[in-house]
Amino acid sequence: MVGVRAFSTEVITTCHCCIQMGESTSAAQLLPAGSPSEPLRDVPPFAVIYERYFDLVWSAVRQLGVAKDAIDDVVQEVFVVIHSKLSSLQQVESLRSWVYGVTRRTVSTYRRAQRNRNASGAQYAEIADWLEPLPATPLDLTELAARQRLLLALLAELDPQKREVFVLAEVEGFTAPEMAEALDIPLNTVYSRLRAARQAFELALARHAARQKGPAT
């Protein structure tokens, strides 16, 4: 029998493959060259940032709960904000985390405005809406789909703060310093929150495994 931790890694890796296969061709340029946490001496032109981080911004906007029909508008607003800040941006520890931070704050502003218009609006969209449908490939789509559904179900059991750091770390590949910068929280908070998120995820996975095994005979 595969251990919980090992199976946890398999589930995340498989779902990450699903996400990668569903992305556009520009997703290969998602990460900046070199170490993601290496300080940038020169900020790239806006066109480079747009091409490199469009997929990250788009998926983050979905994951943070923006409705389908508003995603394009919010993504556009994110890049408007990025463009307006570039002239005063001298150096950042990680451009990727800075872009995510701008995205997160822009979405927060949008959602506050939406709550003012509709107090009964849901805080978060369904997590299942975040992941693209599985593409037709020679891979075993039945197994991929099952693991994708499992990951979505397990993520749904985490509270929003834990879910966010877990997805950033395990799916998007953010480092702890990048998450601290992107989320504007202390580094120690990132470590403790991620540790709690991983523990909660593995407990949820253990419960799933126990249900699958059934009662002892």
Same domain, 45 and 78: yes
116 and 158 together in one domain: no
pLDDT score for 113: 82
Instruction: Indicate which CATH number applies to the domain containing 188.
Output: 1.10.10.10
Q: Are residues 121 and 161 located together in one domain of the fold? A: no
Residues 4 and 52 in one domain: no
Name the domain boundary from 113, 131, 149: 131
The answer to whether residue 136 sits within a structural domain is no
Q: What mean pLDDT is predicted for residues 36-47?
A: 66
- How far CA 44 is from CA of 51, 67, 136, 181, 197, in Å, comes to 11, 30, 36, 19, 34
Same domain for 48 and 107, yes or no, is yes
In the predicted structure, residue 86 carries a pLDDT above the cut 50: yes
What is residue 188's predicted lDDT score, i.e. its pLDDT? Answer: 95
The answer to whether residues 30 and 127 belong to one domain is yes
Lowest-pLDDT range, 79-93, 136-150, 191-205? 136-150
* Identity of residue 196: A
Share of the chain above pLDDT 70, in %: 64
- Cβ density class 120-130: b for 16+ within 10 Å, e for less: eeeeebebeeb
Q: Say which residue, 23 or 15, is predicted with more confidence.
A: 15
d(CA 40, CA 90): 9
> What's the structural domain count of the chain?
2
39: its two tokens: 């300080």
Confidence of residue 199 (pLDDT cuts 50, 70, 90): very high
**Between these two residues, 53 and 131, which has the higher pLDDT value?**
53
* Same domain (yes/no): 33, 87: yes
Per-residue pLDDT at 93 exceeds 70: yes
Confidence of residue 137 (pLDDT cuts 50, 70, 90): low
**Domain boundary at 131, 150, 179, which?**
131
Predicted pLDDT of residue 67: 85
Say if residue 179 is in the same domain as residue 89.
no
Question: pTM value?
Answer: 0.58
Residues 157 and 112 in one domain: no
Mapping DSSP onto H, E and C, the string for 90-108 reads: CCCCCHHHHHHHHHHHHHH
The domain boundary residue, chosen from 131, 155, 174: 131
Q: Indicate the Cα dihedral angle 87, 108, 134, 198, nearest 10°.
A: 100
67 and 121 fall within a common domain: yes
Residues 104 and 191 in one domain: no
Out of 13-17, 95-99, 186-190, least confident range? 13-17
**In the predicted model, is pLDDT for residue 47 greater than 50?**
yes
Mean pLDDT (whole number) for 75-81: 95
- CATH assignment of the domain containing 98: 1.10.1740.10
Quote the domain boundaries for residue 182: 1-23+141-217
Question: Cα–Cα distance between 194 and 106 in angstroms, integer?
Answer: 23
CA–CA distances in Å: residue 188 to residues 69, 184, 196, 210: 37, 12, 12, 33
